[in-house]
Amino acid sequence: MDKINRRKFIKSAGLAGGALSLAGVAGAGYSAGADKDSFTGYGRTAYGEDQFFNRKPFLVDKPTYVQEGEPVRITSIEDIFKRNGELSRLMFSRNGDQPAWKPSDGLDALPGYLRAYYQANPGAFDEFIKAMQKGREQRTNWDKYRDKYFIADAWSNAHSSPIRGRSSFPAEPQGKPEESDFRGVNKKRLKLKSPRHGSELLKKICYSFGASLAGIAKVKKEWVYQGSLRGIGRVDYEVPSHWKYAVVIAVPHEWDSMYANPTYGTSYDAYSKLRFIAGKMEVFIKELGYSARPHVPPTSYDLVMPPLAIDAGMGEQGRNGILITPELGANTRLAAITTDMPLEPDKPIDIGVSKFCKKCRICAEECPGGAISFKDTPGEVIRGYRRWKIDQNKCFTVWNSVATSHARGCRVCLSVCPYSRKNNWIHNFAREADPRDPTGLLASGLLAMQKKFFTYPGGQEYLPPPDGNNRTFGEAPGWLRTEEWFDL
């Protein structure tokens, strides 16, 4: 009898154990998903642990961008921010002078170099005028949305405060690079053991300053802007010979606010962090006795960042034009420090982003401005490289349209990208397994689940009424929601 009872008891306990262990994995799963510490970056480690993806199996000799023809340097006027910088200098008077140009003066009244750009890019000027118009509506409508996004706006403004004006850090270079990049360089240099030691040391210091990712690239001249140089102004110039290597660093935006783009997120959180890290790296490298020049967001760059970061083995370019890294996905913001310190460059990687983007298109479907290509393959050869290209002008119109106090960005294409996910077991399975699957079946399965299981508001929905409903991709976190803290 006793034996039968004991047997019955063990059998019942076995059933209960099975059920409880399933409840246990449910609880463990829930907690892995809810855990804020599984968001990568944001200063959680000073020792490089955020760069957790083992790149070794995916190192390649050639980067995954495709060269077709002779590479050409990008002229600064082709970059929307540098172009808009030139326009705003003309449109907004300094010292009470009359503005040199206003949109109603038309294209013909613009200086030759700007006119040439717009003539070579039909539609871009009209899109700029539309963006200006949308910007006026945005400022007028802000009264309607101010209370709802009160904290988000304050949070963004606080992040942008170290970027504005003369006291920004790092200071803008003054004078020729041959002078400014060497200003303050320690005359006493110690003998570096090897370039590999140099690279390892600088990466460790980047991490200690708060970088999530760090890589080293050789500077290719085609990544250096032409037509304008910080510290000098508008000028055509040869790439300075001391810009030998670039230390490239990346940090993410704060994740919960990033998922709540476009209205709750900001670009300035990552920008201000990058500026502090790059500025401190400039000082550190100069202390070691070598030249250094930081290239930092939002616009203080003399080099184009994504291809440089690809060369530095940090990731690959996505359909949305952004660098996609295994750790941060599209939530990757970049800065760099050019130097003549002897360094060993990293190798580029191939984790299958270019292949995945050909199938995915989520960012193109969600972009409120229709700025991202739907084509099957990168359709254009741009300055000697076949790659994805976004329509910067349409993108900028969206910046001026969403319900924010001013054109402070959209970033929906960062939020919706399936690569922008937490460092937890389920996403790490996808991170590790997908690039190892030569058949591409896993990628197709994951993508099908992504599209069928997850909720995407759809492009126009991110815009304010009447075009959309001010939707965000993810729900805004409580700490950014005004109604949680103030009586409305």
Q: Which option in another protein, ligand SF4, none does residue 31 bind, with CB closer than 5 to 8 A by kind?
A: another protein
Q: Any contact of residue 419 with ligand SF4 (CB under 6 A)?
A: yes
| Minimum CB distance to ligand SF4 smaller for 285 or for 363 | 363
Any residues with CB less than 8 A from the CB of 333 and at least 6 apart, and which?
Answer: 250, 251, 252, 253, 267, 270, 271, 274, 297
229, 177 contact by CB (below 8 A): yes
3-state SS of 52-110 is CCCCHHHECCCCCCEECCCCCCCEHHHCHHHHHHHHHHHHCCCCCCCCCCCHHHCHHHC
Q: Any contact of residue 367 with ligand SF4 (CB under 6 A)?
A: yes
| Minimum CB distance to ligand SF4 smaller for 176 or for 451 | 451
Q: Are strands 292-295 and 245-251 parallel, antiparallel or unpaired?
A: unpaired
176, 208 contact by CB (below 8 A): no
Q: Could you tell me which stretch among 181-189, 302-310, 405-413, 465-473 binds ligand SF4 (CB under 6 A)?
A: 405-413
What is the dihedral sign for C-alpha 30, 34, 39, 42?
negative
d(C-alpha 116, C-alpha 428), whole Å: 48
d(C-alpha 192, C-alpha 343), whole Å: 10
Both tokens of residue 195? 């370039």
Q: Any contact of residue 11 with another protein (CB under 8 A)?
A: yes
DSSP state of 365: H
Site for another protein in 390-429 (CB under 8 A): 422, 424-426
Which one of residues 1, 2, 3, 15 is an interface residue with another protein (CB under 8 A)?
A: 15
d(C-alpha 440, C-alpha 460), whole Å: 31
Any residues with CB less than 8 A from the CB of 17 and at least 6 apart, and which?
Answer: none
Any residues with CB less than 8 A from the CB of 340 and at least 6 apart, and which?
Answer: 242, 243, 244, 245, 290, 291
- Amino acid (one-letter) located at 106: G
- Minimum Å distance from CB 265 to another protein? 16
- Minimum Å distance from CB 361 to ligand SF4? 5
User: What are the Cα distances from residue 426, in Å, to 30, 126, 177, 330?
Assistant: 11, 46, 47, 18
Which one of residues 76, 320, 339, 423 is an interface residue with ligand SF4 (CB under 6 A)?
A: 320
- Minimum Å distance from CB 224 to ligand SF4? 24
| Minimum CB distance to another protein smaller for 34 or for 59 | 34
Which one of residues 59, 116, 433, 449 is an interface residue with another protein (CB under 8 A)?
A: 449
Q: Any contact of residue 478 with another protein (CB under 8 A)?
A: no
Q: Which option in another protein, ligand SF4, none does residue 368 bind, with CB closer than 5 to 8 A by kind?
A: ligand SF4
Which one of residues 173, 240, 297, 318 is an interface residue with ligand SF4 (CB under 6 A)?
A: 318
Q: Which option in another protein, ligand SF4, none does residue 356 bind, with CB closer than 5 to 8 A by kind?
A: ligand SF4
| Minimum CB distance to ligand SF4 smaller for 224 or for 364 | 364
Using CB under 6 A as the criterion, which residues of the chain lie in contact with ligand SF4 when the complex forms?
318-320, 324, 330, 356-357, 360-363, 367-369, 371-372, 390, 395, 398, 410-413, 416-419
Residues in contact with another protein by CB under 8 A are 7, 10-18, 20-22, 24-35, 37, 422, 424-426, 449, 452-455, 474-475
